[in-house]
Structure 1
Amino acid sequence: MSRELNNTLYQSKSEHNDQELAEHQETNKRLQRLGQEVLKLEAKAVNSLAERIGDNFSRACRHILSCTGRVIVTGMGKSGHIGSKIAATLASTGTPAFFVHPGEASHGDLGMITGADVVLALSNSGETHELNAILPRLRRLGVPLISLTGNPDSTLAREATVHIDIQVEKEACPLGLAPTSSTTASLAMGDALAIALLDARGFTAEDFARSHPGGRLGRRLLLHIEDVMQTGDKVPQVTPGTLLREALLEISHKGLGMTAVVDSTQQVLGIFTDGDLRRALDQGIDVHTTEIATVMTQAPQTAPPHLLAAEAAERMERHRINALLITAEDGRLIGALNMHDLLQAGVV
């Protein structure tokens, strides 16, 4: 093959690669522009809701606060998915709630709704057939109906005890078809209701933790030192006259990286840690003849058993220690805790 032909083929391939790269970059830019436009449109939709939070929002909150039953959230399609999330948020922030599918409601699930409940119905059009079909039953029950719709003149809006307008200017979908801005607005208004109710109920972080015992927050707010500390024979302890080599055996057997030093009444006199051992060895201490009282750290950090485990972790980090002795009110040693125990408990 001639040199000229080789050069022609190379140039052709190079031009083809350059074209592919240019098309790839243009596609990336278009994807990025579309993503940015969606976020801007949805942010605008949410921002516009703030102007519509007024008396109807307050009335909706008061109906829910005076409810002796549960908040029944319902919605069809995408509104149903949003409604399910709103129900979960309400339930986890102090307002008992659950989701009922409107299609199933007409086939028996209406029995889940009682006269002591409040119904929160979501529909962008306000004309969802499955929702409107159960309105007569809700009227007979006499339950307050709070509707979130994008059409204040719709059937659902007119039938509601309280209507909250969540109308959006346009959907973020370029076809104007897929529920995007409207579902984001519904979700945001649901969050607004949940947080307003949370504050009105005086709901605390501890209350939140009680409904989230399996989560990290729950463990941090519910677990106390007494729930995770080592007790009994698992607690390393020696008396002041114990030789250093014997104390090291106690540390090794108990596996907490330290030992407490106590008197005959279990009063804490000191602690001996891995750090103390390094310092003792640097000073040329003889482990066979030295008593632990001469190398221990006096007045060590201690904590009561009722202290939150998370607070114990913060104290250990603040004082740069890996272990903590747990004492009763009278100063007696009753347990021990190290960072590994807190890690295992999921506190840190």
Structure 2
Amino acid sequence: MTEPPGTAVSARSAPPPSAAPAGPSLPAPRPPTARWVVPLRRPGRWIATAIVLVLVAQIGHGLATNPFYQWDRFAYWFVRPVILDGLLITLEVTAYSAVLGLLGGIALALARLSGSPVLRAVSWTYTWLFRSVPLIVVLLFLYNFSALYRTLSLGVPFGPAFLTFDESRLATDLVVAVVGLSLNEAAYASEVVRAGILSVDQGQHEAAAALGLPKRYQFARIVFPQALRSVVPNYVNQLIGLIKGTSLVFYVSLLDLFGSVQSMGSTYPGDIVPLLLVATVWYVILTSVVSVVQFHVERHYSRGALRTVPPTPLQRLRIAIGDLRARVRTETAR
């Protein structure tokens, strides 16, 4: 029986499976063998590390052996009552100025973001002015403010005054220092707060408005808590500059830490170098404490933005000790 043309070839014409050409035979897989991973060599890193260690050793040796530093006099002055009294004034001025500066910065930031053109113009002008004028000029101007205005009054403009204050009695050295630093700090804090508010996603504002929440509630419960993630770490960083900026209050007759050192240095000119070292070490201690606080604040507010928070120095030490123990066990097992 013949097949019609165009039909497929039948199974009888196909070669049998046994006649198909056999492929090359694959070798049997070998069992895996353990191999040691050789770490990448980085000679440049080791050379740079050696150079840095040599420089650090030379600097430490010079600090310890140079008699010019007079470390015995440094130990004498470090905890003297006059130095500790100046340190207390530095902490007091820093605390007051930090709180008042932050409150003023929040008010200026809200005015800058408001819908009123007058508030926006006043806030921008204030920030521009106090960021342009040096802090020492602000302090000296306030210190001589009584020469311009002997009394201050509250009342109707161009009309009667309801309350009158004697400026010479109110403007003590501490008040002048705190007011000057607060005015200057508020200008910088306003930009920190404004940047933090603008960093909040616009969808959060829209969602809060869609819920029909009042503006004040939206800001206090939704916007500002999220803005703190950016505001707090940056403003804590501002505190470091504020601590060092308190050294300028010596020019308004307030004996803070630096003022006490300057006063003792003029009385004991032979101890000027150890006294400057005393001030340096105390400022380093204060800024180090603020840096530790800044690290933990940043770590706290990064929980909502990072999958894993960065480890603390103690946790890093534990991880390093665990890695060292694992290497020792590996070397022993060889």
- Which structure has the higher relative contact order (CA within 8 Å, separation 6+)? 2
Choose between structure 1 and 2: higher strand proportion: 1
- Short-chain TM bin: under 0.3
What's the TM-score, normalizing by structure 2?
0.21
Determine which structure has more spread, i.e. the larger CA radius of gyration: 2
What's the TM-score, normalizing by structure 1?
0.20
